[in-house]
Amino acid sequence: MSIQLPSLKADNTLGLDVSTQKRIVAETSEDILKAWQLSQIERASFLILGEGSNVLFMENFNGTVVINRLKGVEIYEGTECWKIHVGAGENWHQLVKSTLEKGIPGLENLALIPGTVGSAPIQNIGAYGVEFKDACEYVDVLNLRSGDTERLHRDECQFAYRDSIFKHHYQSGYAIVAVGLKLDKHWKPVLTYGELKTLNPATINAWEVFNAVCKMRQSKLPDPAVIGNVGSFFKNPVISHEKATGLLSRFPDMPHYPQASGEVKVAAGWLIDQCQLKGFKVGGAAVHQQQALVLINVDNATPQDVVALAKTVRLQVGEKYEVWLEPEVRFIQARGECNAVEVIS
């Protein structure tokens, strides 16, 4: 007799056909805590997912997967700012849109980033010159061992480019249950990237920024409901000023963005595109034709197809530019998360 294990195909936006031993939808912190305690008794691996928009399952998961659906949005108006307390299971884009509908700007540059609110601090999500940390006041974390909820203020979260303390000290044994946002009433548009540079800061409003960001993202990024993908697969590499200067002497058209640290961020999508990899396929996985930074599931791709494709992309870019791309995506093995760079090196 064969036992049908719970499928995770609908829980990862790459649409990979993987399963788990146990799948639990959590609507309260208590749901998460009980699931974790049971997994400890059973000595089973444990994983919390939002909408699965930033994970690559390399195989079936051998344990319990909890789908975080903690909801609720509370808004507090002060004289200088708005404060918003949001459940980790809320959809990020819907939060961005609903705050604008309530006359609260500040998140518009982060429109259409897939995933839940609870995933935002883990990655320190960012787009078009704005990062999650810019709006974050605190993150509430459930300590699964003690059952207590801890509040980490922004300065304690160790936010960096696509990085945070939630990828390190708070990666295991903790669950993000809510975030607190602080949005200044004295709104200033951030128009430093892409087509936003063409907009007039003196007359622009937050809705126009929101619509421009949505238009740009939709023109470049495929809808995961139509074509399986996790958005940007690789981080934009940050390299030394000296290295950037050397590359620009050879490739003067290379998009580059000087950082406050003195380092320079370069566009991973451009590097991949210059290697003529748009449309390149390995099995059922391919590099997207419109945006080379996106790897897509075009024909029932297996996890092995996606990993092999990522390896090829990294190798070709590395050999041409001596810049070694790192995945933005979390790689999940049977027993839990692993080092994505090591997997594709």
Active site residues: 162, 232, 328
Task: Identify the residue whose tokens are 């056909």.
Answer: 17
* Phi-psi sector, 270: left (phi>0), alpha (psi -120 to 50), beta: alpha
- Is residue 279 within 8 A of residue 312, CB to CB? The reply is no
First to last CA, the chain: 40
Bridge partners, residue 176, by sequence? 141
Q: Whole-angstrom Cα distance, residue 317 to residue 274? A: 9
**CA dihedral for 278, 279, 281, 285, sign (positive or negative):** positive
CA angle 84, 89, 91 (to 5 degrees): 75
Rounded CA gap, 106 and 183, in Å? 6
d(CA 151, CA 227): 37
DSSP E strand stretches across the chain? 20-26, 45-49, 55-57, 61-68, 73-77, 81-87, 126-127, 130-131, 136-143, 149-153, 174-184, 228-232, 238-239, 256-258, 264-266, 281-282, 285-287, 294-297, 330-333, 336-338
